Amino acid sequence: MAFDVPPKRLRSLDEDTPAWLEPEDDDIVAEIKSTILSKIVLVAGKDVKHADIHDWYIAAALTLRDRIVYQWLQSDRATQNHGAKRAYYLSLEFLIGRLLTDALTNMSLMKPFRMAIEDLGLDFDELRNVEPDAALGNGGLGRLAACFMESMASLAIPARGYGIRYEHGLFRQIISNGWQEEFPEQWLLSGNPWEFERRDVVFDIQYSGRLDHAEEDDSEGRTLWIPDETIQAIAYDTPIVGWRGHHVNALRLWSARAVDPMRLDTFNSGDHLGAMSEMARAQAISKFLYPSDETPAGRELRLRQEYFFVSASLQDILNRHLHTDGDIRSLPSHAAIQLNDTHPSLAVPELIRLLMDRYHIGWNDALDITTKTISYTNHTLLPEALETWPVELFERMLPRHLDIIYRINAEHLAAAEKHFGADARSQASVSLIDETGGRRVRMGHLAFVGSHRINGVSAMHSELMRETVFADLNSLYPDRITNKTNGITFRRWLHQCNPELTSLLQDACGAAVLDEPERLRMLERLSDDPAFQQRFQTVKRTNKVALAQIIARQFGIVVDPSALFDVQIKRIHEYKRQLLNAIETIALYQAILDDPQGNWTPRVKIFAGKAAASYRQAKLIIKLINDIGNVINNDPRIRDLLKVVFIPNYNVSAAEVIVPASDLSEQISTAGMEASGTGNMKLALNGAITIGTFDGANIEIAEHVGEENIHIFGMRADEVVQRRSMGLDATDIITSSPKLARVIEAIERGAFSPDDASRFIPIAHALRFLDHYLVSADFDDYYRAQRAVDTKWASPEWTHSSILNVARMAWFSSDRTIREYAEDIWGIPVI
């Protein structure tokens, strides 16, 4: 937990200030100082001598915000004047992290602010660490949305993000005696200086009630919906500044409130709690982020959340469009709506509903406008993660939308019958309603049918979409599926989090490398230059020393910065296979004990990640990692050859410290299961070498960095399917792998859980008999690949490869990804 607020970073102003920060200007520094001081007095309402570090942070953020606001209004006016088409990014998650450093770098104000703050006698790093880490997302999907917001602003694409302003973001993870415990997160507790509450932007969101079919003879099918519950959505805007401060977009998050916050009649009658129940029911909608990752939270409240933010966002988009254009029918040429996964799929029936019932557009036109405006990004093929909702729940909560879904489905099934013939299998497979075991609405199918483009997030994932879940839909609507491989923003994931490396890259590739990442290629000719290699290694070492200090201070584990830092940081999930890494750790431990004087590569195994609170097996894996660490870290025979560290409460701020300090990047998901990954990109960009499966964007990373500069192992996606079809029993594999057999026996014996020998029996059982994720099946090849990593680490090849990784990662910038969305999906020109 304390990791949120790491102690002093090693950067200081006098040494090594990256050259790309603009030269100091005494006037600017003086002006910033005086504004900060006046904010302390006028905003905090305090004498400066009573201000605490928190007041100073708020004052600094507001001082910066003032400057952003002018740019923001300017950007808006420009878009308005040009009648430009806008992109709207709908996402139930935005994993933002801290904004101060982000905004300072992009506004080119880092240096003067740092000077102003230090002139005021404060520690800049302490101040910026006061900012809470905004975690309105679970993992990769939410972080992608945040990277996209930054890239859209950097490319000056007129865009707006829409989501929910959760009062409590992703839970805070505490590791207690090796177990994960969840605590509520309170990012808004001390106020949020970045946001603007828009009291004038409020929409009614309605639920339940009944349909009045009196108008049914209306050939257009307009139906009167008489809802029986209304709540309000109120907008909060956070400005997102693009690189160099040229363009600013808004992230608009909705907060829920009751129309009638307190029933005075009830209150006066003495029922004080009852009087507030309506308020509580309304506010519950924006109270919590669902902390589930890859599995649907099958809860009514979740569907209420989805409709809440979709309806508010669409009403807002239509209002704005009518205000600027005046013709509702021209929507597709002025607005592109991107759905981040199926969570906003209700946008399809909701847009049709608004067009028909509010703006009196006929069915055919409403459907046509909708599909031309909307597009959908698929993020997972895992069957358990494909969202579906019971028809019965729709009937109760969103009767008009179910009506519309049925009508879409009727036309869609008619088209399918023309295409496939009256074939029951293909009809059932493309239907928006899943009829097997209780009727359910398939949100992925709904989004597919209502969109003109459906994209996957890596080449392999998009291909698997065509071949598996959407095979029949793809045959019915060919050319809709396209690929947009994910990316990351280099501003946050290189320039800000790794200023030392950035400085070196500027020396080597020119200052323009900040604007043109393709210039990183210039490193190729330096990859064997001893002087450059030396500087490159020094930067990595500096970052590792900083991480080692945090690990020592906060977790009391001493790690040697010259050891190989082997890092797996991501959500804990069986398909991501932290278990494979954990059992390789055990095998290595056993091998070292067998030959303590052997020529071993010293390693520090670093793990971080949260498990969904209800995911028992994932939580048991966290406990196993911690228990393994307990045994190994306290075994004097191992000395410094192997250490295991589990860093609690993984979030964006933690990633920003761990990524620059990593040597080896673990991307070891079961092939075919990781849609893309973005952690793999952050790590490779910062010079970590990947050990990974042929999965997601790992494949494209291998193509870019070259097969010699990445360690690929394990079964391919087709081999995984084939192996599974033969059953999940791994006895054959264990019999032929003495190493694996020994590891499993140690786990079963309680070697890592002497206080409870049976604790990890469920894990051992899965390894033996339920090897769905192919942990046992891939073990030997993984162990082999790890030993190849050892060999490489000991040779000059390591630094060479590491430099080539940085040199060849430019393509993974989210600027490239967003340019592709803009050009191929949104029809928005990028300058």
Ligand X SMILES: *Cc1c(COP(=O)(O)O)cnc(C)c1O
Residues binding ligand X (CB under 6 A): 95, 139-140, 143, 570-571, 650-652, 655, 677-679, 682
Return the structure tokens found at 259. 């129309």
Task: Give dist(CA 252, CA 248) in Å, integer.
Answer: 13
Decide: 625 and 814 in contact? Cβ < 8 Å.
Answer: no
Residue number, 137 or 239, with CB nearest to ligand X: 137
How far apart are CB 673 and ligand X at their closest, in Å? 11
Query: H helices within 185-299, ranges in order?
Result: 264-268, 272-275, 277-283
Residue number, 284 or 657, with CB nearest to ligand X: 657
Q: How many CB atoms lie within 10 A of CB 428?
A: 14
Task: Give dist(CA 225, CA 507) in Å, integer.
Answer: 64
Query: H helices within 726-760, ranges in order?
Result: 731-735, 738-749
How far apart are CB 112 and ligand X at their closest, in Å? 28
CA distances from 108 to 23, 104, 124, 238, 244 (A): 10, 6, 16, 19, 6
3-state secondary structure of 715: coil
How far apart are CB 682 and ligand X at their closest, in Å? 6
Residue number, 163 or 450, with CB nearest to ligand X: 163
Q: What is the dihedral of CA 651, 657, 661, 663, to 10 degrees?
A: 20
Residue number, 650 or 783, with CB nearest to ligand X: 650
Query: H helices within 556-640, ranges in order?
Result: 578-594, 616-633
Task: Give dist(CA 673, CA 684) in Å, integer.
Answer: 20
3-state secondary structure of 256: strand
How far apart are CB 740 and ligand X at their closest, in Å? 25
From the list 682, 704, 808, 819, the catalytic residue is 682
Q: Which residue, judged by CB position, is nearest to ligand X in the bound state? A: 679
Instruction: Decide if 8 is catalytic.
Output: no
From the list 401, 570, 623, 800, the catalytic residue is 570
Residue number, 139 or 714, with CB nearest to ligand X: 139
| CA 458 from centre of chain | 15
How far apart are CB 136 and ligand X at their closest, in Å? 12
Residue number, 57 or 650, with CB nearest to ligand X: 650
Residue number, 232 or 814, with CB nearest to ligand X: 814
Instruction: Decide if 323 is catalytic.
Output: no
Task: Give dist(CA 352, CA 384) in Å, integer.
Answer: 29
Task: Give dist(CA 434, CA 430) in Å, integer.
Answer: 9
The sign of the torsion formed by the CA atoms of 546, 548, 552, 556 equals positive
Residue number, 343 or 682, with CB nearest to ligand X: 682
Instruction: Decide if 372 is catalytic.
Output: no
How far apart are CB 571 and ligand X at their closest, in Å? 6
**Pairing of the two strands 453-456 and 374-377:** parallel
From the list 440, 571, 577, 623, the catalytic residue is 571
Task: Give dist(CA 621, CA 582) in Å, integer.
Answer: 8
Return the structure tokens found at 32. 């910033």
Residue number, 782 or 826, with CB nearest to ligand X: 782
User: Nearest CA to 693 among 709, 715, 675?
Assistant: 715
How far apart are CB 58 and ligand X at their closest, in Å? 24
Instruction: Decide if 168 is catalytic.
Output: no
From the list 85, 343, 379, 819, the catalytic residue is 379
Task: Give dist(CA 825, CA 814) in Å, integer.
Answer: 15
Helices (H) and strands (E) in the chain, counts: 34, 24
How far apart are CB 812 and ligand X at their closest, in Å? 12
- H or E element at residue 454: strand 453-456
Task: Give dist(CA 260, CA 271) in Å, integer.
Answer: 16
How far apart are CB 568 and ligand X at their closest, in Å? 8
Contacts of 717 (CB under 8 A, 6+ apart): 460, 464, 671, 672, 694, 695
Residue number, 158 or 677, with CB nearest to ligand X: 677
Please classify residue 191 by burial: count the beta carbons closer than 10 Å to its beta carbon, then call 0-12 exposed, 13-18 middle and 19+ buried. Answer: exposed
DSSP string, 26-45: HHHHHHHHHHHHHHHHHTS-
Q: What angle do CA 617, 622, 627 make, to 5 degrees?
A: 120
Decide: 35 and 66 in contact? Cβ < 8 Å.
Answer: yes
How far apart are CB 681 and ligand X at their closest, in Å? 8
Q: How many CB atoms lie within 10 A of CB 213?
A: 11
Instruction: Decide if 246 is catalytic.
Output: no
Return the structure tokens found at 262. 């307190």
Query: H helices within 276-373, ranges in order?
Result: 277-283, 300-324, 331-334, 347-353, 363-373
User: Nearest CA to 216 among 396, 407, 355, 393?
Assistant: 407
Residue number, 6 or 140, with CB nearest to ligand X: 140
| CA 229 from centre of chain | 33
The neighbouring-strand residues paired with 425 are none
Identity of the amino acid at 741 = A
For 510, phi and psi rounded to 5 degrees? 95, 150
Return the structure tokens found at 246. 């040229």
Instruction: Decide if 570 is catalytic.
Output: yes
3-state secondary structure of 634: coil
Decide: 344 and 92 in contact? Cβ < 8 Å.
Answer: yes
From the list 678, 693, 799, 817, the catalytic residue is 678
Residue number, 255 or 678, with CB nearest to ligand X: 678
How far apart are CB 656 and ligand X at their closest, in Å? 8
How far apart are CB 720 and ligand X at their closest, in Å? 19
Residue number, 132 or 139, with CB nearest to ligand X: 139
How far apart are CB 684 and ligand X at their closest, in Å? 11
Q: Which residues are catalytic?
A: 379, 570-571, 576, 678, 682
